[in-house]
Amino acid sequence: MAEVTALDPKKFKEAVKDKSNARLKMWLEICAHCGLCADTCHFYLANDKDPEMIPAVKGRKVLEALRKKDKIDEEFLEDFYWTIYGECTMCRRCTMFCPFGIDIATITSTGRGLCVSQGKVPENLKKTIASYYEHGNQMEITQEEWIDTLQWMEEELQEELPGATIPIDKKGAKVLYTVNAREPKFYPMDISQVARVFYLAGEDWTMSSKGWDDTNLAMFAGDLKAAAYISQLVRDAAEELEVRRVAITE
Partner 1 sequence: MGRDHKFQVVHSVTLFAEYLREGRLKLDKSVFAEERCTYQDPCNVSRNGGCGKDAREIIGYLCEDFVEMEPYGDYNFCCGGGGGAIPMAGPFRERRLRSGKVKAEQIRATGASICITPCHNCYDQIRDLNKEYELGIKVLSFKEMFEEALIIPEELKAQEEDEDEE
In the complex, the residues that contact partner 1 under the rule CB under 8 A are 42-43, 45-47, 85-93, 96, 105, 108, 122-125, 128, 138, 158-163, 175-176, 180, 182-183, 187, 190, 193-194, 196-197, 199-203, 217, 220-221, 235, 238-239, 242-250
Nearest distance, CB of residue 149 and partner 1, angstroms: 16
Q: Which is nearer to partner 1, 199 or 229 (CB)?
A: 199
Nearest distance, CB of residue 207 and partner 1, angstroms: 14
Q: Which is nearer to partner 1, 68 or 131 (CB)?
A: 131
Q: Which is nearer to partner 1, 68 or 215 (CB)?
A: 215
C-alpha atoms less than 13 angstroms from C-alpha of 108 in its C-beta half-sphere: 25
Nearest distance, CB of residue 201 and partner 1, angstroms: 4
Q: CA angle 227-232-234, nearest 5°?
A: 110
Is residue 76 within 8 Å of 118, Cβ to Cβ? no
Q: Which is nearer to partner 1, 68 or 234 (CB)?
A: 234
What's the Cα-to-Cα distance from 177 to each of 182, 210, 234, rounded to whole Å?
A: 15, 12, 10
Q: Please tell me the distance from the alpha carbon of residue 61 to that of residue 55, in angstroms, as a whole number.
A: 10
Nearest distance, CB of residue 250 and partner 1, angstroms: 4
Q: Which is nearer to partner 1, 56 or 237 (CB)?
A: 237
Nearest distance, CB of residue 159 and partner 1, angstroms: 6
- Nearest residue to 184 (alpha-carbon basis) of 206, 209, 159, 164: 209
Q: Which is nearer to partner 1, 68 or 114 (CB)?
A: 114
Q: Which is nearer to partner 1, 35 or 86 (CB)?
A: 86
For β-strands 175-178 and 245-248, DSSP reports them as parallel
- CB atoms < 10 A from the CB of 62, how many? 26
Nearest distance, CB of residue 217 and partner 1, angstroms: 6
What's the Cα-to-Cα distance from 44 to each of 50, 54, 79, 220, 235, rounded to whole Å?
A: 6, 6, 17, 21, 38
Nearest distance, CB of residue 28 and partner 1, angstroms: 20
Output the CA torsion sign for 15, 71, 83, 29.
Answer: negative
Q: Please tell me the distance from the alpha carbon of residue 22 to that of residue 53, in angstroms, as a whole number.
A: 26
